[in-house]
Amino acid sequence: MPAELICFEPKCRACYPIDEVIYSCPRCNGLLEVVYPDRSLDAAELKKIWRERRMSNAALDRSGVWRYRECIPFVEDFEKVVSLCEGNTPLLDAPRAAAYAGLDRLAFKHQGFNPTGSFKDNGMTCGVAQALRLGMKRVACVSTGNTSASMAAYASAAGLDPVIFIPHGNISYGKLAQALEYGARTLQVEANFDQILALVRVLAERLGIYLLNSINPFRIEGQKTIIVEMMDQRDWNPPDWIVLPGGNLGNTSAFGKALREMVQLGLIPRSPRLAVIQAEGSAPFYDLVRHSRSALEPVKKPETLATAIRIGDPVSWPKALHEVRCSNGVVECVTEQEIADAKAQIGLCGIGCEPASAATLAGIRKLAAAGVVRRSDDVVAVLTGNLLKDPDYIYRYHTGQLKAPSGAQILSRFGNQPIVVPNDPDRIAELLS
């Protein structure tokens, strides 16, 4: 069998067939992961094949996920794959952001270049492929925005019926608009993300709906390819650090799994360290690591303007904790002011991103000041979403109107306020000079 589902809990490790519709272990309720027993692959040959596929116009090869299909061999019938040319996201040098953070150099792996504008597309193409394999007709997710946009697009492209559950009043219109445009049935629930996820897991089982949140292990498989593509773009020379935002912690789980598997396959000589950055008002994973607790204590009312990471009870924390430890990584948290300022600095590089993405630069600056990240370190930060995911945030920051969830004013330290001018060339010329 090319793949199987195995319980992530070390004391359990129960095995299940890949075509069983489960999201957690029926025996112990632990998280599940996709495992590939037969991994006799030649690293040099894989690198050659993947580089050659960049020149191919075949649909699978044009995908920055399925190009690396030897890393995610859970699909036997590629007719079940629906691709929107996801992946293929750039590595962008950002010298001004590096200077702001206190580094000699810094690059951003920008997942906002994906079809629906976020990293979710890498995982969603795999999740939808599994839904089709299982013969499902309806798929669902709980989302603060990016997951809903991605799922709606891929489900509709696959001919499935997408159903989206979102916290009422807690989603940016840029993200909600995508879900509506892609034809998803959208239910705004008067509860927070974590409460809605519990609700939807009940409904999914009752109504035979396939759940496509990051608790779905096939989503994690697709998100692994973000790191495979990153290493390919760097000619298989790993950086010292990979820095990413921490919300539901699916990316942390996926990135760590990708790094471990690439080291095992001989694709890279060593693993970079992971640095996971959370927003101060939604930082249960940071608290877990900082206080060396045995289990995560949820934040009952998570708060941050970076809505993509406003999650108080991340389901993937056991996997994420394992991957941080395996990579000798760190977890940090940053304030709303630090996120807003970092976002403006990323913008000055000519690179736009959503607020959650900017937590990476804010975290790097904090870690560099503490001496955890050295000035000379080779650092790649992952920007998870496109600038236009939350344009209202940007306008309010630059015009001095942005306030934290607490009501505290966020200073427009790097503001760029538009100026009203008369229809007078002399006055405008005077102003510009």
In a domain, 184, yes or no: no
Whether 384 and 118 have beta carbons less than 8 Å apart is answered as yes
The pLDDT of residue 224: 98
Both 103 and 22 in one domain: the answer is no
Q: In this predicted structure, what is the pLDDT of residue 193? A: 76
Say whether both 361 and 271 belong to one domain: yes
Q: Using CB atoms within 10 Å of the CB of residue 166, give its burial: 0 to 12 exposed, 13 to 18 middle, 19+ buried.
A: buried
Closest residue by Cα to residue 367 from 179, 222, 241:
241
Residues 363-376: what's their mean pLDDT?
Answer: 98
* DSSP per-residue string spanning 16-48: E-TTS--SB-TTT--BEEEE-S-----HHHHHH
pLDDT score recorded for residue 62: 97
Residue 128 domain flag? no
Residue 123, amino acid: G
DSSP letter at 4? E
Number of CB atoms found within 10 A of residue 382's CB: 21
Residue-wise pLDDT for 245-301, tens only, equals 999 999 999 999 999 999 999 999 999 999 999 999 999 999 999 999 999 999 999
- Are 1 and 112 contained in the same domain? no
Residues 310 and 387 in one domain: yes
* Residue 337 located in a structural domain: yes
* Structural domain contains residue 411: no
Shared domain check, 1 and 105: no
Both 1 and 105 in one domain: the answer is no
For 77-105, write each residue's pLDDT tens digit.
Answer: 898 899 999 999 999 999 999 999 999 99
Confirm if 131 and 158 have CB atoms less than 8 A apart: yes
Per-residue pLDDT at 39 = 73
Query: Is residue 6 one of the residues assigned to a domain?
Result: yes
- Give the domain range for residue 3: 1-38
Give mean pLDDT, residues 218-236: 98
The strand ranges marked E within 119-259 are 138-142, 161-167, 185-189, 210-211, 241-245
Residue 102 counted as domain residue:
yes
Residue 162, pLDDT score: 96
Residue 60 CB coordination number (10 Å): 14
User: What does the block give as tokens for 150?
Assistant: 């991605």
Confidence check: pLDDT of 402 > 90? yes
Rounded Cα gap, residues 97 and 120, in angstroms: 25
CB proximity list for 128: less than 8 A, separation 6 or greater = 82, 139, 151, 154, 155, 157, 158, 160, 212
> Per the structure block, which two tokens stand in for 121?
């597309």
Tokens of 213: 């949140």
Question: Mean pLDDT lowest for which of 25-39, 323-337, 357-371?
Answer: 25-39
How many domains is the chain built from?
Answer: 2
Please state, in angstroms and rounded to a whole number, the distance separating the CA atoms of residues 154 and 139: 10
The reported pLDDT for the residue numbered 138 is 96
Report the alpha-carbon distance of residue 141 to residue 159 in Å, rounded: 16
Q: How confident is the model at residue 1 (pLDDT cuts 50, 70, 90)?
A: low
Amino acid at 62: R
**How many contiguous H segments (helices) and E segments (strands) does the chain have?**
15, 13
What CATH number does residue 352 fall under? Answer: 3.40.50.1100
Between CA 132 and CA 81 the distance in angstroms is 8
Mean pLDDT of all residues in 16-29: 94
- Rounded to whole angstroms, the Cα distance separating 68 from 47 reads 10
Residues 195, 196, 198, 201: what is their CA dihedral angle, to the nearest 10 degrees? 180
Greatest pairwise CA separation for the chain in angstroms: 77
On whether both 113 and 20 belong to a single domain, the answer is: no
Percent of the chain having pLDDT more than 90? 87
Q: What is the pLDDT of residue 197?
A: 84
Q: Residues 379, 278: one domain?
A: yes
Could you tell me if 243 and 328 lie in one domain? yes
In angstroms, what CA-CA distances link 13 with 9, 32, 122, 134, 327? 6, 9, 27, 23, 22
The pLDDT value given to residue 40: 78
Tell me, yes or no, whether 138 lies in a domain.
Answer: no
Considering the domain boundaries, does residue 150 fall inside one? no
Give the tens place of pLDDT for each residue, 166-224: 888 766 777 788 989 999 999 999 888 778 888 998 898 899 999 998 889 999 999 99
Whether 20 and 104 share a structural domain: no
Of the chain, the end-to-end C-alpha distance in Å amounts to: 71
Alpha helix (H) residue ranges in 63-145: 95-101, 120-133
Contacts of 291 (CB under 8 A, 6+ apart): none
Tokens of 258: 């990708």
- The Cα–Cα gap between 114 and 376 comes to 30
Contacts of 125 (CB under 8 A, 6+ apart): 63, 65, 66, 81, 82, 83, 84, 86, 154, 222
Token pair in block for residue 9: 């809990």
- The average confidence (pLDDT) of the chain is 95
> Average pLDDT for residues 365-394, to the nearest whole number?
96
pLDDT tens digits for range 51-61: 999 999 999 99
- How high is the pLDDT of residue 170? 64
- Between the alpha carbon of residue 356 and those of residues 145, 206, 386, the distances in Å are 12, 34, 10
28 and 108 assigned to the same domain: no
